[in-house]
Chain A
Amino acid sequence: QKEVEQDPGPLSVPEGAIVSLNCTYSNSAFQYFMWYRQYSRKGPELLMYTYSSGNKEDGRFTAQVDKSSKYISLFIRDSQPSDSATYLCAMTSTGFQKLVFGTGTRLLVSP
């Protein structure tokens, strides 16, 4: 079993839709949870970071962590074509030295 499971997609949605991206994990020691966005031919960039359980909102993006279910989500409201990218979840138990990544979900937002 992989430590972090993430559906590779692609996930295709029309512009304006609400997008839900998810990861499940098996290591209950994970405490720090991140979402990275990676555009084609670019490196990943940190989008959202949360510590432990709960929600965090930043503009159109909301990150949720449910440690009891070992499940994290990223919601994108009013999705735009510019949101088309691969979204990677990542997590670690202490510090950021050894991030464990999901495979990434490719998102396509059509105009």
Chain B
Amino acid sequence: ETGVTQTPRHLVMGMTNKKSLKCEQHLGHNAMYWYKQSAKKPLELMFVYNFKEQTENNSVPSRFSPECPNSSHLFLHLHTLQPEDSALYLCASSQDLLAGGADTQYFGPGTRLTVL
């Protein structure tokens, strides 16, 4: 596997379910991100981790719970979601937040989430 991978690629869940999204990066990066992409809306930054420490929570509801056990893996735990949470959830990674300047973010293919 190369780059940034995400599993599952598609997920359908009920509002009472609990599920998790997984992201893995094979680039040796230290910063990882979760974004939400909804139709006709800009990408919304949700969480940022740098060297496993959360550095940004962009006022995300507590029904979304991130976890970063190491610099290569990032999870997004989901529980009691709402239909309006249906979207494409993208993971990204970059070298690290201390690099400054052109710290390019590399995106995974996303998980298409549908909440019934």
A99 interfacial contact with B, CB 8 Å: yes
Which residues from chain A contact B99 at a C-beta distance below 8 Å?
95
Proximity string of chain B (1-45) to chain A, C-beta cutoff 8 Å, 1 when within and 0 when not: 000100000000000000000000000000100000000111101
- What would be 9 A-B contacts, judged by CB atoms less than 8 Å apart? A42-B110, A43-B92, A97-B31, A98-B45, A99-B43, A99-B45, A99-B105, A103-B40, A104-B42
B97 interfacial contact with A, CB 8 Å: yes
The reply to whether A95 and B45 contact each other, CB–CB distance below 8 Å, is no
For window 32-70 of A, CB contacts with B under 8 Å fall at 32, 36, 41-46, 49, 51
User: How many residues does chain A have at the interface if contact means C-beta atoms less than 8 Å apart?
Assistant: 26
Expressed in whole angstroms, the minimum distance between the Cβ of B64 and any Cβ of chain A is: 18
Proximity string of chain A (76-111) to chain B, C-beta cutoff 8 Å, 1 when within and 0 when not: 000000000000101000111111111110000000
The reply to whether A97 and B48 contact each other, CB–CB distance below 8 Å, is yes
For window 1-51 of A, CB contacts with B under 8 Å fall at 2, 4, 8, 32, 36, 41-46, 49, 51
- A42 nearest in chain B by CB position: B109
Given the known interface contacts A8-B40, A95-B97, A98-B56, the answer about A43 and B104 at a Cβ–Cβ threshold of 8 Å is no
10 closest cross-chain pairs (CB), A and B = A43-B107, A101-B42, A101-B43, A96-B103, A44-B107, A43-B109, A43-B108, A103-B42, A97-B97, A95-B100
B55 interfacial contact with A, CB 8 Å: yes
CA distance A44 to B102 in the complex (A): 17
Which residues from chain B contact A44 at a C-beta distance below 8 Å?
43, 90, 107
Which residues from chain B contact A8 at a C-beta distance below 8 Å?
40
CA distance A48 to B48 in the complex (A): 23
CA distance A101 to B106 in the complex (A): 15
The reply to whether B107 and A45 contact each other, CB–CB distance below 8 Å, is yes
The reply to whether A97 and B55 contact each other, CB–CB distance below 8 Å, is yes
The reply to whether A41 and B100 contact each other, CB–CB distance below 8 Å, is no
Which residues from chain B contact A98 at a C-beta distance below 8 Å?
45, 56
The reply to whether B4 and A96 contact each other, CB–CB distance below 8 Å, is no
The reply to whether A4 and B108 contact each other, CB–CB distance below 8 Å, is no
Expressed in whole angstroms, the minimum distance between the Cβ of A36 and any Cβ of chain B is: 8
